[in-house]
């Protein structure tokens, strides 16, 4: 076993360091008079460490010390050394019960302390192992091991090997941008630029020059040539978020770029060759936008050569706890030192909640709960998830699942009736071909 370490903090503790060294063979004793010394001697820890803190209000402020040191150390367990008569003080009791693994009354009983330290170390090791298990995003820098995400990761691997355009669809906050980045980073273009453009965030009259650039003097105020975002992505990937918001008149320019791999800066007739992979994302139903003549069908087919669907969080309940724990570790440096994890009730409520804002919402709720919680384990109310009338919109989930099943079976039957002809099936179902394709994609339905 590698040597275990105990950080001994405070004047009184340092005074007994010699005694401890004798009494605790196999332990490395690190002594520190104050927080500064403690931080300097522990450095960046990737191992568990036990803190021994003497609670003496005249010496150091125990809570402050513990918070500062725990933030730097990550996984620690604290044991308080306390005079027996101080145990009756409310302040001392609170500190021990909220922040310490155990306490030991003075005078020192070295053999008993050795046992307590051993237990605390075991627990710290367990916590460290547990946190590592959850803290690892996969090769795509994503967290999740539900069946739905496993499928997505498998498709992601395949899509990365190709250079064709990709359309990522999914609700807001599901991780579309993360998926787009993963495709780029796993592709041969990884060393090239990855430029993300939110088509909905650029004012309509600026989209053209932002994407395609302009020449000097192209219009009043064009004092200099400007290289557009597509040209800047040369050799890499451009990610067009909210592609459904691309103004209709620009869609034709964009189509030409996709077809010919060339662009024209505003104010120039010269066509410039660009080598850019396009990944587009949308949270809206493009089929509907096509039907309403807000989106060009030909552009849709060009963009959706490969399609990746990111499922909403409520359809991958198995990932909720994993994401919450990963998030807990991610932000553990910001948390207040009291908070150690999630209560069972909180985990249950998180599983039942419908997460309309998906992973983004989960991260925000957990991060805020970690800072604000007043208890050792995060409770539902810390997450802002209050259970009303005994349920927390679990029914939404059940309805979605039922609807999916129904749609799947209906489409399968009509496809069969029409000998797998998609156009005829779409007509019979009163859908556009693209909507049907999109639904088949979402439901993971293939023609037989």
Ligand X SMILES: Nc1ncnc2c1ncn2[C@@H]1O[C@H](COP(=O)(O)OP(=O)(O)O)[C@@H](O)[C@H]1O
The site for ligand X (CB under 6 A) is made up of 137, 142-144, 170, 172-178, 359-360, 363
Q: Is 177 in the site for Mg ion (CB under 5 A)?
A: yes
Of 174 and 425, nearer to Mg ion (C-beta) is: 174
CB of 171 to ligand X, least distance (A): 7
Taking the least distance from each CB to ligand X, the nearer of 62 and 144 is 144
- State how far the Cα of 84 lies from the Cα of 107, in Å rounded to an integer: 9
Cα–chain center distance at 317 = 15
d(CA 222, CA 212): 14
- Asked if residue 140 lies in contact with residue 310, where contact means CB atoms within 8 angstroms, the answer is no
Q: Which distant-in-sequence residues (6+ apart) come within 8 Å of 31 by Cβ?
A: 8, 13, 14, 17
* H-helix segments, 261-317: 286-291, 297-303
For the four alpha carbons of 397, 399, 402 and 403, in that order, the dihedral sign comes to: negative
Question: Least separation, in Å, of the C-beta of 175 and ligand X?
Answer: 3
62 vs 170, beta carbon nearer ligand X: 170
Of 248 and 333, the one with the shorter C-beta distance to ligand X is 333
Nearer to ligand X, 77 or 241 (CB): 241
Q: Which helix H or strand E contains 198, and what residues bound it?
A: strand 194-198
- Are 208 and 266 in contact by the 8 Å Cβ rule? The answer is yes
* Residue span binding Mg ion (CB under 5 A) among the ranges 2-10, 19-27, 68-76, 175-183: 175-183
Residue pair 80/56 in contact by the 8 Å Cβ criterion: no
Determine contact, residues 340/377, Cβ cutoff 8 Å: yes
Please choose which of Mg ion, ligand X, none residue 359 contacts, taking the beta carbon within 5 to 8 angstroms, the exact cut-off set by kind.
ligand X
Q: How far is the CB of 333 from ligand X (least distance, A)?
A: 17
Q: In the structure encoding, which two tokens stand for residue 4, read together?
A: 């275990």
CB of 207 to Mg ion, least distance (A): 17
Q: How far apart are CA 76 and CA 14, in angstroms?
A: 19
8 Å CB contact between 411 and 429? yes
Q: Does 231 participate in binding Mg ion (rule CB under 5 A)?
A: no
Nearest residue (beta carbon) to Mg ion: 177
Note the Cα 172 to chain centre separation in Å.
Answer: 13
In the complex, the smallest distance separating the C-beta of residue 289 from ligand X, rounded to whole angstroms, is 18
Dihedral class, residue 213 (left if φ above 0, else alpha if ψ from -120 to 50, else beta):
left
Calculate Rg over the CA atoms of the chain.
29
Select the span of 122-130, 176-184, 249-257, 351-359 touching Mg ion (CB under 5 A).
Answer: 176-184
Neighbouring CB atoms inside 10 A of 335's CB total 22
Query: Among residues 187 and 282, whose Cβ is nearest to Mg ion?
Result: 282
CB 39 within 8 A of CB 68: yes
Provide, rounded to whole angstroms, the least separation between the CB of residue 181 and ligand X.
Answer: 8
Query: Does 400 participate in binding Mg ion (rule CB under 5 A)?
Result: no
Q: Are strands 226-227 and 213-214 parallel, antiparallel or unpaired?
A: antiparallel
Q: If contact means CB under 5 to 8 A according to the sort of partner, which of Mg ion, ligand X, none does residue 332 touch? A: none
The option from ligand X, Mg ion, none interacting with 173 (CB < 5 to 8 A, set by class) reads ligand X
Residue placing its CB nearer to ligand X in the complex, 338 or 360: 360
Q: What is the DSSP letter of 271?
A: E
Q: Which partner in ligand X, Mg ion, none is near 363 (CB below 5 to 8 A by kind)?
A: ligand X
Binding mask 118-157 for Mg ion (x = CB under 5 A): ----------------------------------------
Cβ 307 to ligand X shortest distance, Å: 15
Does 361 sit near Mg ion (CB under 5 A)? no
Residue 176 Cβ vs Mg ion, minimum distance, rounded to whole Å: 5
Binding partner at 174 among Mg ion, ligand X, none, C-beta below 5 to 8 Å by kind: ligand X
Position of minimal CB gap to ligand X: 175
- Enumerate the H helices of 164-311 as residue ranges: 176-185, 204-212, 229-232, 248-260, 286-291, 297-303
Q: Which stretch, 9-17, 64-72, 173-181, 184-192, contacts Mg ion (CB under 5 A)?
A: 173-181
* Residue 117 interaction partner, one of ligand X, Mg ion, none, beta carbon < 5-8 Å per kind: none
Gap between the Cα atoms of 43 and 45, Å rounded: 6
Q: Which is nearer to Mg ion, 55 or 168 (CB)?
A: 168
The residues that touch Mg ion, with contacts defined as CB under 5 A, are 177
């Amino acid at each position: 076993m590698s040597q275990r370490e105990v950080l001994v903090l405070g004047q009184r503790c340092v005074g007994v360091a010699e005694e401890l060294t004798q009494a605790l063979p196999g332990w490395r004793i690190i002594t520190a008079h104050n927080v500064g010394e403690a931080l300097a001697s522990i450095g960046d820890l990737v191992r568990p460490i036990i803190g021994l803190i003497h609670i003496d209000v005249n010496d150091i402020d125990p809570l402050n010390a513990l918070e500062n040191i725990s933030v730097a150390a990550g996984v620690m367990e604290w044991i308080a050394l306390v005079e027996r008569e101080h145990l009756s003080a409310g302040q001392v009791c609170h500190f021990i019960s909220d922040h310490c693994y155990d306490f030991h009354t003075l005078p020192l009983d070295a053999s008993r302390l050795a046992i307590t330290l051993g237990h605390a170390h075991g627990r710290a090791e367990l916590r460290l192992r547990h946190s590592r298990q959850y803290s690892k995003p996969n090769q795509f820098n994503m967290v999740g091991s539900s069946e739905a995400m496993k499928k997505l990761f498998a498709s992601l691997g395949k899509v990365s090997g190709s250079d064709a355009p990709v359309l990522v669809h999914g609700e807001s906050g599901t991780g579309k941008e993360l998926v787009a980045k993963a495709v780029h980073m796993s592709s041969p273009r990884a060393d090239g630029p990855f430029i993300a453009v939110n088509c909905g965030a650029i004012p309509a009259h600026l989209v053209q020059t932002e994407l395609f650039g302009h020449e000097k003097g192209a219009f009043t105020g064009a004092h200099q040539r400007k290289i557009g975002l597509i040209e800047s992505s040369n050799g890499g990937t451009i990610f067009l978020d909210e592609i459904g918001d691309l103004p209709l008149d620009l869609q034709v320019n964009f189509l030409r770029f996709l077809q010919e791999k060339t662009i024209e800066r505003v104010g120039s007739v010269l066509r410039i060759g660009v080598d850019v992979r396009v990944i587009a994302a949308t949270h809206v139903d493009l089929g509907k936008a096509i039907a309403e003549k807000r989106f060009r069908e030909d552009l849709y087919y060009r963009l959706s050569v490969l399609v990746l669907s990111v499922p909403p969080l409520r359809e991958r309940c198995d990932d909720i706890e994993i994401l919450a724990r990963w998030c807990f570790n991610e932000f553990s440096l910001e948390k207040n030192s009291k908070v150690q994890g999630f209560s069972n009730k909180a985990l249950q409520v998180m599983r039942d909640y419908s997460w309309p804002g998906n992973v983004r919402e989960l991260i925000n709720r957990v991060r805020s709960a970690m800072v604000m919680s007043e208890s050792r384990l995060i409770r539902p109310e810390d997450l802002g998830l209050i259970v009303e009338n005994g349920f927390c919109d679990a029914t939404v989930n059940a309805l979605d699942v039922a609807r999916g099943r129904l749609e799947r079976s209906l489409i399968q039957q009509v496809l069969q009736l029409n000998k797998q002809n998609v156009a005829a099936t779409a007509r019979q179902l009163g859908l556009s071909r693209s909507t049907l394709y999109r639904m088949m994609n979402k439901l993971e339905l293939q023609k037989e």
